[in-house]
C-alpha cells in the first residue's frame, strides 16, 4: 500500500469526493485504484473563508511500483509504514520467576504493566489510590463538598492524573517506532471510539476514560498481572555494595508490607511529593527541572469557535475550537497556553490539604459553555528555585498555599477578571463569563498568589494573544488560580538502560520522573521502560 499525505478537500465535502481526489492527485485511471482507507484527518483553518480538511490516505493500486517511481522525491507519496507493534521479549509459558513491580496506575504505569503482562512477566502494579469508581466518589467529594482525601483525588488512584481530564491523546514526541499507535489501538480495544486512530487531535473525555481503565485492568489481570490498591510505596530498600554500587532489593508499603523485587518501573506522576522526598533521602539521583506556573483562563466556547472558524463555527466536521498560543516577553519569560480544554470545566486538582491547584477537563461531547486552558509562564531552577533538587516542590507549595488563603481557606479558588487583572485592582463582580470551577471561585486579586514576574509576563501576553484571537483578553474573561502542576518539578535521571543513574533496578518513568508530559507521551514512555525491563530480564538470564 502507498500513503498519500496532505490531501486537501473543502470543508463539508461528501465521502464520495475522496476517490476522485486520490485519482487526480496520483494522475491514475479510476480502475487503477483498488481501495483506500483514511489514516489521518485534520483541518486547516488558517483561512476562515476557505477551511480545508487535510487527509493522510492509504491506497491500494494496481501498479504501486510505477506510481512510486513517478513520485520519487515527493515525500507526500510513499510506501505505507509498518505501524504494527512487536514485543521485544516473551517469557516462557507459565513463567514463575521474579515478578517486576510497577508503581503507579496512571497512563505510564498502565502501559508498562500491560506490555510486561503481554510479555508474560506477570507484573505487580501497586498504587496508593483506589479503583477508579471509588476514586471518582472521593474526587467529587472535593469538588462538591470541599472535602479532600489526600490519597484518593484527581492526582492519585486508578488511571492516574489523566482520568478526570479532557483525554487529549496527542503529543509532540518523536515516535519513529509508532508506539503512540500501539497506545491508541489498546485504548480502542478498551472502549475508546475508533476515530482516535485517525483524528489528528483525538480526545476521549473523562467518562470514557473511567470505563477504559477498568477494561485495561481486566486485560492485565487476565494475562497474569496483579493490582494492589491503597498500597503506597513508603520506602525503598536499596543495597549499597562495598564499592558504593547501589541496587534495589524491595519496596516497603505503608502499613507494613514488604515486596521483594529487583526490577521496579517507577511511574509516580508529578504530584508524588512525599515519594520524591523519600527517594532523595535514600540517595537516589534526582534533580530540579523547569516547569510552568500561572492560571486557568476561561472564555465562552462560542467566542473561540467564532474567532477560529468564522461563519463555519459549529460545523460538525470541526467540533469545538481549540487554540495554542505562545509569547516571548520582554522580561525573558515565555507565556503559553497549556492543556486547552474546549467546552469543558476548570477542576480542583490539589492532592494536598489547604492548597489550591487548577486544571481542566471535559466530556467527549465538549459541549459545556466555557473553553478553558492553562495560561502559564515558564520557570527554571537556576533563576527561580535554585539550590536544592526539591526546591521546585517548595516553590509550588508556597503559591498553592497562598491561593488557598486568597480563595477563602475553603478550597474555593481565587479568581479575577482580565480587565481588573490588567488594571491591577481586585475583582468584585463577575461579568459575561460564569466560572465553572467547583467548589467555587472567590473574586480577589491574583497578584497575592503568584510571583511578580509571572504577573508581569501574563499582563504583557494578554493583549498579544487578544490580537491573535479576538476576545481572548476581553475584560470579562476569567482567570482562576493557581496552575502549578503543569509538569514535574524534578527529574529522576536515568541512563541509556532506562535505570536510575545511581540505583540499579529502579526504572524512573513517565511524567513524575520528568520523561513525559501528557497521557500519550506517558503511556509511550511506559512501553519503552517495560521493554527495558524485559531486555534486562533477558540479559540477566531470567528469561531466554
Ligand atoms: P500519573 O497519571 O500522575 O500517575 C501516577 C500514579 O502513581 C497515580 O495513580 C498515583 O496514585 C500513583 N502513585 C504516586 N506515588 C505513589 C506511591 N508512593 N506509591 C504508590 N503509588 C503512587 N494530559 C493529556 O495528554 N491530555 C489531557 O487532556 C490532560 N488533561 C489533564 C487534566 C487534569 C485534571 C490533570 C490533572 C492532568 C491532565 N493531563 C492531560 C496530564 C496527564 O494526566 C498526565 O500527563 C499523565 O497522567 C501522566 O501519567 P503518569 O502515568 O506519568 O503519572
Closest to 127 (Cα-Cα) out of 278, 279, 268, 270 = 268
Dist. CA 356–CA 414, nearest whole Å: 9
Dist. CA 103–CA 125, nearest whole Å: 6
Q: What is the pLDDT of residue 193?
A: 94
Atom of ligand 1 nearest to the CA of 485: 36
* 398-409: burial string, b at 16+ Cβ within 10 Å, e else: ebbbbbbebbee
Dist. CA 182 → ligand 1 center (Å): 19
Q: What is the pLDDT of residue 166?
A: 82
Atom of ligand 1 nearest to the CA of 278: 18
Q: What is the pLDDT of residue 266?
A: 98
* Binding pocket residue ranges, ligand 1, CB within 6 Å: 103-109, 126-129, 154-157, 160-162, 164-168, 232-233, 267-269, 272, 275, 339, 347, 349, 359-361, 510-512, 516-520, 522
Atom of ligand 1 nearest to the CA of 169: 25
Probe residue for ligand 1, chosen from 162, 163, 180 as the CB with the greatest number of ligand atoms within 8 Å: 162
Atom of ligand 1 nearest to the CA of 274: 18
Give the CA count within 13 Å in the CB-facing half-sphere of 436. 26
Nearest CA to ligand 1 atom 53: 269
Atom of ligand 1 nearest to the CA of 234: 18
Q: What is the pLDDT of residue 364?
A: 82
Domains assigned to the chain: 2-79 (3.30.70.2700), 101-287+496-539 (3.50.50.60), 290-483 (no CATH)
Probe residue for ligand 1, chosen from 106, 109, 366 as the CB with the greatest number of ligand atoms within 8 Å: 106
Q: What is the pLDDT of residue 205?
A: 83
Q: What is the pLDDT of residue 264?
A: 98
3-state SS assignment for residue 361: strand
As to burial, measured by CB atoms within 10 angstroms (0-12 exposed, 13-18 middle, 19+ buried), residue 385 is buried
Dist. CA 347 → ligand 1 center (Å): 14
Dist. CA 511 → ligand 1 center (Å): 7
Probe residue for ligand 1, chosen from 123, 163, 514, 518 as the CB with the greatest number of ligand atoms within 8 Å: 518
Dist. CA 487 → ligand 1 center (Å): 10
Q: 10-residue block means of pLDDT along the chain (544 residues)?
A: 98 97 98 97 95 98 97 97 97 96 98 98 98 96 96 98 87 94 97 95 88 97 98 98 97 98 98 98 98 98 96 94 96 95 96 97 89 97 97 98 98 98 98 96 98 97 97 98 97 98 98 97 98 98 96
Dist. CA 398 → ligand 1 center (Å): 22
Dihedral pair phi/psi, residue 300, rounded to 5°: -60, 135
Atom of ligand 1 nearest to the CA of 511: 52
Q: Residue 100 is placed in which grid cell?
A: 517486576
Atom of ligand 1 nearest to the CA of 129: 11
Q: Residue 427 is placed in which grid cell?
A: 475583582
Nearest CA to ligand 1 atom 11: 156
Dist. CA 43–CA 198, nearest whole Å: 12
Dist. CA 270 → ligand 1 center (Å): 7
Dist. CA 110 → ligand 1 center (Å): 11
Q: What is the pLDDT of residue 207?
A: 83
Dist. CA 328 → ligand 1 center (Å): 29
Q: What is the pLDDT of residue 162?
A: 79
Dist. CA 88–CA 119, nearest whole Å: 8
Amino acid at each position: 500500500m502507498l500513503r498519500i499525505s496532505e490531501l486537501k478537500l473543502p470543508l463539508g465535502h461528501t465521502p464520495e469526493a475522496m476517490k476522485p481526489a486520490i485519482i487526480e492527485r496520483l494522475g491514475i485511471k479510476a480502475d487503477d485504484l483498488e481501495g483506500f482507507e483514511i489514516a489521518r484527518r485534520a483541518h486547516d483553518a488558517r483561512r476562515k473563508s476557505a477551511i480545508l480538511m487535510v487527509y493522510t490516505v492509504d491506497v491500494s493500486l494496481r501498479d504501486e511500483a510505477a506510481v512510486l517511481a513517478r513520485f520519487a522525491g515527493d515525500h507526500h507519496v510513499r510506501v505505507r509504514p509498518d505501524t504494527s507493534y512487536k514485543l521485544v521479549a516473551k517469557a516462557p509459558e507459565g513463567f514463575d520467576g521474579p515478578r517486576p513491580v510497577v508503581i503507579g496506575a496512571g497512563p505510564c504505569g498502565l502501559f508498562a504493566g500491560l506490555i510486561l503482562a503481554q510479555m508474560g512477566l506477570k507484573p505487580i502494579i501497586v498504587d496508593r489510590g483506589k479503583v477508579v469508581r471509588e476514586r471518582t466518589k472521593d474526587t467529587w467529594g472535593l469538588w462538591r463538598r470541599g472535602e479532600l482525601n489526600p490519597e484518593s483525588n484527581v492526582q492519585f488512584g486508578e488511571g492516574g492524573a489523566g482520568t478526570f481530564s479532557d483525554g487529549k491523546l496527542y503529543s509532540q514526541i518523536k515516535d519513529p517506532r509508532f508506539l503512540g499507535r500501539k497506545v491508541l489501538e489498546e485504548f480502542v480495544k478498551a472502549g475508546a471510539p475508533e476515530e482516535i486512530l485517525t483524528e489528528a487531535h483525538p480526545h476521549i473525555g473523562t467518562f470514557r476514560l473511567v470505563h477504559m481503565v477498568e477494561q485495561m485492568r481486566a486485560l492485565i489481570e487476565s494475562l497474569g498481572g496483579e493490582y494492589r490498591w491503597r498500597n503506597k510505596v513508603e520506602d525503598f530498600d536499596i543495597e549499597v555494595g562495598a564499592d558504593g554500587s547501589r541496587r534495589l532489593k524491595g519496596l516497603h508499603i505503608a502499613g507494613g508490607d514488604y515486596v521483594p523485587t529487583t526490577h521496579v518501573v517507577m511511574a509516580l506522576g508529578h504530584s508524588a511529593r512525599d515519594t520524591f522526598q523519600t527517594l532523595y533521602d535514600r540517595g537516589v539521583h534526582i534533580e530540579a527541572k523547569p516547569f510552568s506556573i500561572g492560571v486557568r483562563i476561561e472564555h465562552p466556547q462560542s467566542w473561540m469557535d467564532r474567532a477560529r472558524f468564522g461563519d463555519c463555527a459549529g460545523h460538525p466536521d470541526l467540533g469545538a475550537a481549540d487554540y495554542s498560543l505562545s509569547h516571548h516577553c520582554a522580561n525573558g519569560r515565555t507565556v503559553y497556553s497549556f492543556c486547552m480544554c474546549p467546552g469543558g470545566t476548570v477542576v480542583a486538582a490539589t492532592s494536598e490539604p489547604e492548597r489550591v491547584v487548577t486544571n481542566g477537563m471535559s466530556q467527549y461531547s465538549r459541549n459545556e459553555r466555557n473553553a478553558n486552558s492553562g495560561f502559564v509562564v515558564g520557570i527554571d531552577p537556576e533563576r527561580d528555585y535554585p539550590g536544592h533538587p526539591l526546591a521546585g516542590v517548595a516553590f509550588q507549595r508556597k503559591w498553592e498555599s497562598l491561593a488557598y488563603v486568597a480563595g477563602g481557606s475553603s478550597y474555593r479558588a481565587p479568581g479575577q477578571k482580565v480587565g481588573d487583572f490588567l488594571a491591577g485592582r481586585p475583582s468584585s463582580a463577575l461579568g459575561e463569563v460564569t466560572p465553572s470551577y467547583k467548589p467555587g471561585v472567590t473574586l480577589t486579586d491574583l497578584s497575592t498568589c503568584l510571583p511578580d514576574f509571572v504577573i508581569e509576563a501574563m499582563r504583557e501576553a494578554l493583549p498579544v494573544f487578544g490580537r491573535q484571537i479576538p476576545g481572548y483578553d476581553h475584560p470579562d474573561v476569567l482567570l482562576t488560580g493557581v496552575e502549578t502542576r503543569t509538569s514535574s518539578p524534578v527529574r529522576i535521571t536515568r541512563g541509556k538502560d532506562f535505570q536510575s543513574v545511581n540505583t540499579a533496578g529502579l526504572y524512573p518513568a513517565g511524567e513524575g520522573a520528568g520523561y513525559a508530559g501528557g497521557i500519550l507521551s506517558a503511556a509511550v514512555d511506559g512501553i519503552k521502560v517495560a521493554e527495558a525491563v524485559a531486555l534486562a530480564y533477558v540479559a540477566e538470564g531470567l528469561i531466554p
